[in-house]
Structure 1
Amino acid sequence: MNSLTQLSSLATALPLENIDTDQLIPARFMKESRAQGYGGFLLHDMRYNRDGSPRDFILNHAEAQSSQVLVARRNFGAGSSREAAVYALVDFGFRCVIAPSFGDIFASNAVNNGLLPALVSEQDCEHLLELLSSSAVPLCIDLATQIIKVSEKRIRFDINPTWKLKLLNGWDDIDLTLAEQSNIDSFRERYLKRYPWL
């Protein structure tokens, strides 16, 4: 997994709340090979009509194709535990989702796939969405300081400290465990001295 320290990108606004994992990737697409990428299935039923023709939806606009940041309202990623919802976002090109709240399992899956779930206040989220309502706006995300810079404004975001560590280093759960190898070895040595019959 690639590390994420700073991210400068145009941001895409999705001013909707309660976007669930079933909307992020409808179940009928989960039988497709991940090798081909799931980005084309992201929010499919919002992006396309039944006949497959594209709707006038933000992800179908040219600027969204180069955006790495998605800004949405509360309860993003609620619903089922399908990790494919994160695959769809990452395969589309997103590295960060900014929202006031996330589904718990979605947020965990996001971090495990290198996608930053940046938690902001409702007020700051609405301010970002307002800035994005008229045109694409560049912003810079600094994970180390947990600051989003947009225009002249600085917005603080929250993230679980362990998740932050994993993203900064590009670690998965195994890497996180291996980072404690010396402590694990020391514990094992002390434990075996205390209980030598083991």
Structure 2
Amino acid sequence: MRPIKEVTSVLAPLDRSNVDTDQIIPKQFLKRIERTGFGRFLFYHWRYDDEGVERAGFELNKPAYANSEILIARDNFGCGSSREHAPWALGDYGFRVVIAMSFADIFFNNCFKNGILPIQLAEEDVEDLLKKSQEKPLKITVSLESETVVTEGGDTYSFTVDPYRRQMLLNGWDEIALTLQLEDKISEYEGKSVV
């Protein structure tokens, strides 16, 4: 995984609550065994009509948000089924950070395991950021090191991340990479004769 220390990007507003994992990545696109290739199907039924043509009115189809790495939504983001494909699709599309008032537990945990930083902010902070990002494209900087979200105008919002998860993302480690930090001790143990 790529480490996440600081991400600066235009904030992509998805002004919706209860975005479930089937809306994030519809079930008909879950046939791949790799973790890649899902980004083009992200929010598929919202992004495209029945003929596969982009819907002009959908927030993320607007050119200003084309390369955004930070998504913001309302509450209960990632609800629904426990599919790990949802963070895979978000990451493959290019999102590294998702900001919301609240997240479904399984989705929240899956984000950390797949190199995406889920940030939970207070309702008034999310409302403020959504409003500002809908008025005009808003560039923000998310710092995992200082646990802050800072707008280009200098407004600052604070968040906290569990220290273990914070360290994992700062270093770009998943559980396997963390285990491999102890590879010499594992080899030493394996080299000992078992009685």
- 2:40 is matched by which residue type in structure 1? G
- 1:78 is matched by which residue type in structure 2? C
- 1:38 is matched by which residue type in structure 2? F
C-alpha distance in structure 2 between counterparts of 1:99 and 1:35, whole Å:
24
C-alpha distance in structure 1 between counterparts of 2:13 and 2:150, whole Å:
16
- 2:46 is matched by which residue type in structure 1? M
4+ runs deviating over 6 angstroms: 180-185
Question: How many pairs are equivalent?
Answer: 191
C-alpha distance in structure 1 between counterparts of 2:104 and 2:121, whole Å:
14
Query: What is the CA distance between 1:112 and its match in structure 2?
Result: 1.4
Identity among equivalent positions (%) equals 39
Q: TM-score normalised to the size of structure 2?
A: 0.88
The residue that corresponds to 2:176 in the other structure is 174
Aligned partners of 1:25 and 1:85 also within 8 Å: yes
Cα distance, 1:2–1:131 mapped onto 2, change above 3 Å = same
- 2:73 is matched by which residue type in structure 1? A
Query: What is the CA distance between 1:184 and its match in structure 2?
Result: 8.8
Q: TM-score normalised to the size of structure 1?
A: 0.87
Matches within 5 A, 1:147-186: 147-150=148-151, 151-179=153-181
C-alpha distance in structure 1 between counterparts of 2:147 and 2:164, whole Å:
14
Matches within 5 A, 1:112-123: 112-123=113-124
C-alpha distance in structure 2 between counterparts of 1:177 and 1:13, whole Å:
37
The structure with the larger Rg is 1
Aligned partners of 1:119 and 1:159 also within 8 Å: no
C-alpha distance in structure 2 between counterparts of 1:23 and 1:88, whole Å:
11
The residue that corresponds to 2:45 in the other structure is 45
Aligned partners of 2:78 and 2:108 also within 8 Å: yes
Structure 1: 5+ residue stretches without partners? 189-196
- 1:136 is matched by which residue type in structure 2? P
Aligned partners of 2:36 and 2:88 also within 8 Å: no
Query: What is the CA distance between 1:110 and its match in structure 2?
Result: 1.0
- 1:47 is matched by which residue type in structure 2? R
- 1:85 is matched by which residue type in structure 2? A
Query: What is the CA distance between 1:179 and its match in structure 2?
Result: 4.5
Aligned partners of 1:120 and 1:158 also within 8 Å: no
